[in-house]
């Protein structure tokens, strides 16, 4: 199944009903359930586009929203068409999720970092999960969802009777300009809430431009059958003096080693290790920092060994590079 999915040459399947769509909405899809949206040879996504008159784009395998293993599904068209697509896709994904739970879902060996925070309600794993829809909201457009003092989002909750939560801007990984709006409830409640949110976004003058920006982390790691890895980025800056080595073990756990000038390790770690901890939490990776005065022979470089899933290591590496850029900018 995954091989069939990899054969998709582009992120769009089927015709393009709208060359200049009036509205676009982004929702997140668990990578494990993306096949339910694509269908064999792209048949399902083609059918969805035809039946809704909505353009539907799914990011490539491994191209995920920062801090998650979820791919981004972009729905473009007239607002009623987009809402119809949300309804059909949400229903299909919920069915896929429930079927996966009933079958114990043993086919997947790639863990979603968010799974560490799910199924925590003791004894609830075998019950059907409450339907959930996660929308990607540009941070600059979050105001039209929240409203003054949270009045708008409260009105959405009262009207739809759904649970609606907007992630904090502070939770976003460095370089990420989007937030996640999580809507939970029955499919009907979710659809009503999405309709209310979408109507407000449609009225935001900046949203149409903001939503066109990429919302995924585009992976630069590429590993082949031989078990070697090439980050493909090389050195970021001679002033950073950081290098990398990569390894892949048979369990698909990736390790990457970054070498960083000792003078920059303080800001990388953060006060009380806060910064490096946040990076570990956001990426789902383990980062081992070499001890003080434990330098790469002949240098003043210390090492950061990053271990985790492919996408997790990619994200952690990007976050570390983003931190290094900020250190450079503050120093100049």
**Strand extents, DSSP E, the chain:** 23-30, 55-58, 70-77, 132-138, 163-166, 178-184, 222-223, 229-230, 244-248, 254-261, 286-289, 301-308
Q: From CA 270, how far away is CA 138, in angstroms rounded?
A: 27
pLDDT at 283: 79
Q: Are 202 and 80 in contact (CB under 8 A)?
A: no
Q: Which H helix or E strand runs over 87? A: helix 79-102
pLDDT tens over the chain, length 332 residues? 443 444 333 334 333 443 445 799 999 998 888 899 998 888 999 999 999 999 999 988 878 888 788 899 999 999 999 999 999 999 998 887 777 655 544 444 434 433 434 343 444 444 567 889 999 999 889 999 999 999 999 999 999 999 999 998 877 776 678 999 999 999 999 999 999 999 999 998 889 888 888 776 654 343 322 222 333 232 333 334 444 444 444 345 778 888 888 899 999 998 888 888 888 888 788 899 998 888 888 888 899 988 888 777 888 888 888 888 888 888 87
**Strand extents, DSSP E, 193-241:** 222-223, 229-230
pLDDT at 127: 53
Q: Are 308 and 283 in contact (CB under 8 A)?
A: yes
Q: From CA 319, how far away is CA 189, in angstroms rounded?
A: 36
CA 76 to chain centre: 19
What is the number of other CB atoms lying within 10 angstroms of the CB of residue 206? 12
What is the number of other CB atoms lying within 10 angstroms of the CB of residue 313? 26
15-44 in b/e form (b: 16+ CB < 10 A) is eebbeebebbbbbbbbbbbbbbbbbeebeb
Q: Is the dihedral of CA 60, 62, 65, 66 positive or negative?
A: negative
pLDDT at 234: 28
pLDDT at 274: 86
Q: If you write DSSP's letter for every residue of 282-300 in order, what string do you get?
A: HHT-EEEEPPTT-PPTTSS
Q: CB-hemisphere CA count at 13 Å for 69?
A: 22
pLDDT at 200: 94
Q: Is the pTM here over 0.75, yes or no?
A: no
Q: From CA 68, how far away is CA 61, in angstroms rounded?
A: 13
pLDDT at 142: 92
Return all residues near 71 (Cβ < 8 A) that are at least 6 apart.
Answer: 28, 29, 31, 34, 58, 59, 60, 61, 63, 64, 65, 216
Q: From CA 144, how far away is CA 35, in angstroms rounded?
A: 33
Q: From CA 309, how far away is CA 61, in angstroms rounded?
A: 14
Q: Which residues pair with 12 in a beta bridge?
A: 57
Q: Is the dihedral of CA 222, 224, 230, 232 positive or negative?
A: negative
Helices and strands counted in the chain (H then E): 11, 12
């Amino acid at each position: 199944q995954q091989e069939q999915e990899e054969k998709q040459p582009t992120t769009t399947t089927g015709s393009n009903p709208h060359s200049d769509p009036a509205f676009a909405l982004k929702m997140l899809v668990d990578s494990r359930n993306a096949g339910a949206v694509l269908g064999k040879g792209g048949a399902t996504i083609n059918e969805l586009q035809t039946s809704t008159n909505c353009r539907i784009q799914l990011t490539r395998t491994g191209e995920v929203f920062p801090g998650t293993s979820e791919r981004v599904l972009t729905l473009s068209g007239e607002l009623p068409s987009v809402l119809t697509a949300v309804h059909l896709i949400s229903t299909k994904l919920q069915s896929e999720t429930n079927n996966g739970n009933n079958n114990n879902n043993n086919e997947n060996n790639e863990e979603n970092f968010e799974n560490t925070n799910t199924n925590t309600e003791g004894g609830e794993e075998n019950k059907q999960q409450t339907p959930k829809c996660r929308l990607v909201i540009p941070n600059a457009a979050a105001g039209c969802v929240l409203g003054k003092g949270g009045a708008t989002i409260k009105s959405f909750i009262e009207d739809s009777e759904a649970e609606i939560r907007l992630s904090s801007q502070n939770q976003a990984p460095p370089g990420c300009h989007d937030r996640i709006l999580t809507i939970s409830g029955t499919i009907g409640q979710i659809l009503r809430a999405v309709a209310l949110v979408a109507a407000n976004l449609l009225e935001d003058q900046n949203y149409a431009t903001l939503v066109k920006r990429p919302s995924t982390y585009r992976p630069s790691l590429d590993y082949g059958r031989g078990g070697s890895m090439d980050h493909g980025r090389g050195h970021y800056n001679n002033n950073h003096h950081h290098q990398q080595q990569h390894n892949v073990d048979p369990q698909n756990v990736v390790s990457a080693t970054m070498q960083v000038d000792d003078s920059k390790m303080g800001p990388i770690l953060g006060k009380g290790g806060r910064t490096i901890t946040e990076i570990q939490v956001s990426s789902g990776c383990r980062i081992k920092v070499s001890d003080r005065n434990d330098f790469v022979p002949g240098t003043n470089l210390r090492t950061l060994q990053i271990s985790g899933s492919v996408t997790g290591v990619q994200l952690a590496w990007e976050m570390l590079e983003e931190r290094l850029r900020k250190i450079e900018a503050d120093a100049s």
